[in-house]
Amino acid sequence: MQLFLSQWIWMVMVVPLFWACSSRPVKTIENLKNVVVSEQNSAIRYGAFSQRAKEEGFRNIANLLEAISRSEEIHAERQRKFLKKIGEQVGEATDSIPKVGTTLENLRQTVRVEMYESQTVFPIFVAAAASEGMTEAEQFFEWLGEIALRQADCCRKALERLEKEGTDWNVVNSWSVCPGCGCPYKTASLDEVCDMCAAPASSFILFQ
């Protein structure tokens, strides 16, 4: 966890200084590249967390973590396409063997990471994109910040249930992920379209 946060701190505070005098949107390009790799790593990590939850008998939590893993994959895919469109190369995931604890530990880590991204990382990226006139990237970073907040809230509620009851029987068991922006929703309370990117609910990816 400390290594993860240290990497993010380096990316959001140090990297932009190297490009301060450039007229190209280099801050945003660098941020997009970093997020692609980070989201790919997160997808791998949350997929492993989902598998651990299954092994421990927490099927409902496994569904939630699998949905979040797919959400992270969608974020990486979308930003990779955007970078390729503007002629930029992107690196691959580096976290091929994530550290996996108990489901309780994994949920706590997920809440910490997603809250940090929502409150610290993405607001900085939004501001950089706005200052460089990268409207599309600015909007997507705003989405990512809101989605990270929602993911943290979903995991916090699951964590509270697991800590209090020792089971996930009362954790939501069905999730749907928007293929356009990666936003996760409770399947039982879907609207007709995604409230972020307006993708139709009929296209959502189901996890249950």
Q: What are the extents of the domains in the chain?
A: 2-15+24-166
- Give the model's pLDDT for residue 91: 66
Is-contact 132 31, C-beta < 8 A?
no
Average pLDDT over residues 149-159: 97
Order across the sheet with 175-177: list the strands: 184-186, 175-177, 205-207
Lowest pLDDT segment from 1-15, 61-75, 114-128 = 1-15
Radius of gyration from C-alpha coordinates of the chain: 17
Is-contact 63 139, C-beta < 8 A?
no
Buried-state track 100-132, b at ≥16 Cβ within 10 A, e below 16: eeebeebbbbbbebbbbbbeebbebbbebbeeb
Q: How confident is the model at residue 89 (pLDDT cuts 50, 70, 90)?
A: confident
198: left (phi over 0), alpha (psi -120 to 50) or beta: left
Buried-state track 46-74, b at ≥16 Cβ within 10 A, e below 16: bbbbbebbbebebebbbbbbbbbbbbbbb
Retrieve residue 63's tokens. 């569904």
Tokens 């550290």 correspond to 99
Q: How confident is the model at residue 88 (pLDDT cuts 50, 70, 90)?
A: confident
Average pLDDT over residues 128-152: 94
Give the SS3 label for residue 56.
coil
Instruction: Say if residue 13's pLDDT is above 60.
Output: no
The pLDDT tens digits for 180-204 are 999 999 999 899 999 999 999 999 9
Average confidence score pLDDT of the chain: 88
Average pLDDT over residues 94-106: 85
The pLDDT tens digits for 21-38 are 446 788 999 999 999 999
Average pLDDT over residues 148-167: 96
The second-level CATH assignment, the architecture, of 2-15+24-166 is Up-down Bundle (1.20)
Instruction: Say if residue 44's pLDDT is above 80.
Output: yes
